Amino acid sequence: MRWIVIVAKPAQKQAAEFPAKDQNRIGAAIRSISVDPFSGDVLKLEGQGNRWHRRVGSYRIFFAADNAAKTVAISAILRRTSSTY
């Protein structure tokens, strides 16, 4: 069963500012999240409840997953810097 992926408006705006090549890689990662949000380079954020991040090159996709409803809510897509976390 596929997961429903909801991308917040701020995350859409953040991704739109990235170079086209990186947008394609991020789009592919989001499509794979709809199949299995916990596959790939995914880590749970400590002290953040049910929040996770997936690494896509130098970018991070931050999301929350609801196992019961099979939904993933992407809250941010950020370039990795020393202040990302």
* pLDDT exceeds cutoff 70 at 83: no
Least confident of 7-11, 69-73, 78-82: 78-82
Query: Domain boundaries in the chain?
Result: 4-79
Across 42-46, 69-73, 80-84, least confident range: 80-84
Architecture of domain 4-79: 2-Layer Sandwich (3.30)
pLDDT in the model for residue 76? 95
pLDDT value of residue 85: 55
pTM, 2 dp: 0.88
Place 19 in a pLDDT band, splitting at 50, 70 and 90: very high
| Number of neighbouring beta carbons within 10 Å of residue 44 | 13
Beta strands in 9-66 (DSSP E): 42-44, 51-56, 59-66
